[in-house]
Every structure is written in structure tokens, then in C-alpha cells.
Amino acid sequence: MGKAKRTRKFRETKRFLNTNDMRLKANQEKAEKEEESKKKSEIVHSRPAASTMFFAYNTALGPPYHILLDTNFIYFSLRNKLEVVQAMMDCLYAKCIPCVTDCVIGELERLGRKYRLALRIARDPRFERLPCSHPGIYADDCLLHRVQQHPCYIVASCDRELKTRVRKVPGIPIMYIHNRKYTIERMPDAFGAPKV
């Protein structure tokens, strides 16, 4: 005969819940509070946009146009052999004042030798230099912040991310390079505006 199977009998002990177990009511309430605080931190409070600021109804825009230039816009203008001030005037049929912020100049300086000609153009006396008083030196944030405060500018950029961020601000036209000439969107009266 074979050996009979014997099962070990262990002494039964009381089982306790761990203090971090989610079945406890206190832990459930704690988790709910954490979720609520996360939701509150995710909510971004933005100023409501004025209904009069869409497209052609921005009364702050008018000749002479003040155009905020981005770093890559200056660089791509050089690559496409466009003279910045003349090409802007050809696009808008009006006097244009190109404006460059301190952050854009700083970014061009940091980019090195490849961008030295763009830096020389940005320091041109025909360009208006705008001082920055904010912390940080990221040019895209600087331009967006300035446009939100003062809706009298046209933003000139070839950067996709910056253009999508500026599109959320009502009444601000965007100038970019298309087919070796400047084009402007969200400004229907302009020559270079795309036909819808």
C-alpha cells in the first residue's frame, strides 16, 4: 500500500486588513480628495476673450503695423532670400514696423555661428527693440504673453507650435512664409491672406 496523503493543519489566525487597504472608508475618502485636488490643479483659468476681438474686428490693428518677429521667421527669411521690411510691406500694402524682443535677441545669440547673420538683421536700427521684464528667456512664451497683454501686434513665425498657441488668442493675425513670400492669416483685407 501506498503512503496516505496527509494535509498539514495550520492554526487558523485572524486576518487583519492592512492600514493602506482601499476597502477602508478613510482610505477611500483620502483617494477622493487627492483626485479632486488633481482636477483643480489641471484647470487652467484663462481670461474670457472679448467677442469684439475676432478677425477683422480688432480695432487696435491698423497701419503702420507692428509685427513681432520670432527667431525662426528671421532665419527662414534669410534662407528664402527675402528682405524682411520690404517683403512685409509687399504683403500688407502698408508701412510695417518690425519689433524684436530681448528674448528673441538672446535666443539668436545662444544659437551660435549658424544664426549670426539673423542676429545682425535683428539688430538693424529699422527694427524696434522691445524690452522684456519677465522671468525666463523662452522667446515663444514672451511673444505670446506680449500679444495677450497688447492685441496691437501681428505675430510673424514659422513655428507650428507657436502658431497654434497664437490662434487661441482672438484677433491676432499670424504672418508666415509660403512659396518664398510672406503670407498672413486671420486678416482678410491683406493681399497675402489665403482665400477661403
* pLDDT reported for residue 108: 94
Could you check whether the bond before residue 173 is cis, i.e. omega within 30 degrees of 0? no
Q: Please state the domain count of the chain.
A: 1
Q: What is the domain extent for residue 81?
A: 58-185
What is the C-alpha separation between 165 and 24, in angstroms, rounded?
Answer: 45
Report H helices in 24-138.
25-42, 71-79, 84-92, 102-111, 116-122
**What CATH number has the domain bearing residue 179?**
3.40.50.1010
Domain assignment present for residue 93? The answer is: yes
Q: Which pLDDT score, from 0 to 100, does residue 13 have?
A: 57
DSSP state of 170: T
pLDDT tens, N- to C-terminus, the chain (196 residues):
566 666 655 565 566 667 777 777 788 888 888 888 887 776 555 666 665 555 546 777 888 999 999 999 999 999 999 999 999 999 998 999 999 999 999 999 999 999 999 999 999 999 999 999 887 778 999 999 999 998 899 999 999 999 999 998 888 999 999 999 999 987 766 655 665 5
Q: At what angle do helices 102-111 and 71-79 cross, to 10 degrees?
A: 60
Q: Which of 190, 164, 180 has the alpha carbon at shortest distance from 67?
A: 190
The answer to whether 187 and 178 have CB atoms below 8 angstroms apart is no
* DSSP annotation of 49: P
Q: What is the pTM of this model?
A: 0.69
Q: Let me know if residue 22 belongs to a domain.
A: no
Q: For residue 92, is it within any domain?
A: yes
> How far is residue 166's CA from residue 159's CA, in Å, rounded to a whole number?
11
**Are 118 and 71 in contact, with CB atoms under 8 Å apart?**
yes
Tell me if 125 is assigned to some domain: yes
Does residue 39 lie within any of the structural domains?
no
Asked whether residue 89 is assigned to any structural domain, the reply reads yes
Query: In this predicted structure, what is the pLDDT of residue 45?
Result: 58
Q: Has residue 86 been placed in a domain?
A: yes
Say if 78 falls within a structural domain.
Answer: yes
